[in-house]
Amino acid sequence: MLDITQYDQINPPYRLLMGPGPINADPRVTRAMAAPLIGQFDPVMTDYMNQTMALYREIFKTQNQQTFVIDGTARAGIEAVLMSTIRPGDKVLVPNFGRFGLLLCEIARRCRAEVHTIEVPWGQVFDPNVIEDAIKKIKPRLLLCVQGDTSTTMLQPLDKIGEICNKYGVLSYIDATASIVGNDLQVDKWQLDGVSVSLQKCLSGPPGVAPLTLNDKMVDVIQKRKCVESGIRNENDVDGTDEIIYSNYFDLDMIIRYWGAERINHHTEATSMLFAARECARIVLQEGLDDVIKRHETNGAAMLAGLQAMGLEIFGDVKHKMNNVVGVMRPEHINDMEVRSLMLNDFAIEIGASFGPLKGNVWRIGTMGYNARKDCVMQTLSAFEAVLNKVGFKTVQGAGLQAAWDIYSKAQK
């Protein structure tokens, strides 16, 4: 029989989350999540939904009407777009430069796509001309690409990708989960058809909801696959002319109609997560989107300079590094797990391990969202230097902190 006395109230220890995400949520966001629940069709609730759409149009730098959130983590947003746009047998092209490009391949295969990839070594990004050459050769229906891949810390340039895709009649989808508001992303200017993100990185929120935006071209493709479930179908509903979407929960045609004036009862909105998403966007826009990106740039530069001043090698092509995360090569004879354990247990600071070919050899240190602050950077550098010296990697005492201070001094001028 269950002994309920063994189950205390949840009370996790404090951690400063300086890995590749999730990060510590802004207290304003967690306070918003504690607001009372209301019904999903309460006029106050539907007004919050409309406000959330408007706020995220500014975040994405788009005029797209269909800008809303999917209930679920970042992967839910990815899967919703891919399930709703990829028909079985469609050719898709994935420029793969890290773990999350592989994830796009995985989800596309489960959508029964014909998946084609181009590859660069982890730590590099693609020249847009290489992507264009692959499009000309493969002739895909969709291009699926990650903007910022935290597995490698690299940021793929996107400013020409939408134009290239339009030139060849290819739909573009971008996963910008790790890069949004920490790095520049301009959906309309760059002519991107669909983009999805999440809250738990630079947006300063918890995982659990995935904002996305779709332009009219992408929406038209989705609505051609219309098939409203029988329980909410009305006499005026007519099925689309294309193959149905093989998911109910991730059927973006029905979700668009749920968020729109029709308000069909597709699912019950995750109220507390909607409050979180709204507050995340409000906080960013109150500070100023460009200022938030600049804050990530400055704090990321300070972290980078501090690590380099310790004599550590940085992973990958630094000129294409994301503002908000840096990869650090593990020095020879230094134990990966020992360093991360000392950071966590002695300083309550979490830094990230790595995946695939980088596992055990690269630490990933983030400066994201609410944690893209001077005090967080200086605490992390100080602790990291102490731990490295303890385990046998000797640094010039204080050099890392001084290098970071130099970056902050320059930023203030």
Following DSSP, what letter does each residue of 323-379 receive, concatenated? Answer: TTEEEEEPPTT--HHHHHHHHHHHH-EE-B---GGGTTTEEEEE--GGG-SHHHHHH
The pLDDT value recorded for residue 236 is 86
Q: What is the largest CA-CA distance in the chain?
A: 75
The arrangement of secondary structure in 289-412, i.e. its CATH architecture, is Alpha-Beta Complex (3.90)
| Consecutive H or E run containing 114 | strand 114-119
Interval 19-36 mean pLDDT: 97
Q: How many CA atoms lie within 13 A of 81 on its CB side?
A: 31
Taking residues 253-268, what's their average pLDDT? 94
Instruction: Average the pLDDT over 218-234 and give the result.
Output: 94
**Tokens representing 213?**
């935006």
Confidence of residue 316 (pLDDT cuts 50, 70, 90): very high
Q: DSSP readout, 163-230? A: HHHHHTT-EEEEE-TTTBTTB---TTTTT-SEEE--SSSTT---SSEEEEEE-HHHHHHHHTT----G
**So what's the pLDDT on residue 412?**
86
Q: Which two tokens stand for residue 364?
A: 């990933």
Question: What is the overall mean pLDDT for the chain?
Answer: 97
Sign of the alpha-carbon torsion through 111, 181, 258, 260: negative
Q: What average pLDDT does this structure show over 62-80? A: 98
Domain limits, CATH 3.40.640.10, in the chain: 27-285
Position 234 scores a pLDDT of: 87
Q: What is the pTM of this model?
A: 0.96
- Per-residue pLDDT band for 279 (boundaries 50, 70, 90) equals very high
131, two tokens? 């992507």
User: How far is the C-alpha of 298 from the C-alpha of 407, rounded, in Å?
Assistant: 7
Checking if the pLDDT of 413 tops 80, the result is: no
Question: Given this model, what pLDDT does residue 269 score?
Answer: 94
Percent of the chain clearing pLDDT 90 (strictly above): 96
- Res 314: pLDDT: 98
CATH 3.90.1150.10 domain extents, the chain: 289-412
| pLDDT for res 167 | 98
- pLDDT tens column, 76-116: 999 999 999 999 999 999 999 999 999 999 999 999 999 99
Q: How many CB atoms lie within 10 A of CB 130?
A: 13
pLDDT tops 80 at residue 352: yes
3-state secondary structure of 150: coil
Residue identified by tokens 């906080």 is 283
Q: Give the residue-averaged pLDDT of 140-147.
A: 98
Residue 112 has a pLDDT of: 98
Cβ–Cβ < 8 Å for 194, 172: yes
Classify the C-alpha dihedral 294-380-209-144 as positive or negative: positive
For 394, residues 6+ apart whose C-beta sits below 8 A from its C-beta are: none
The Cα-based distances of 379 to 205, 372, 385, 411 in angstroms read 21, 12, 10, 19
Fold of 27-285: Aspartate Aminotransferase; domain 2 (3.40.640)
User: Per mean pLDDT, which range of 78-87, 128-137, 180-189, 263-272 is the poorest?
Assistant: 263-272
Q: Inter-axis angle of helices 374-390 and 289-309, to 10 degrees?
A: 20
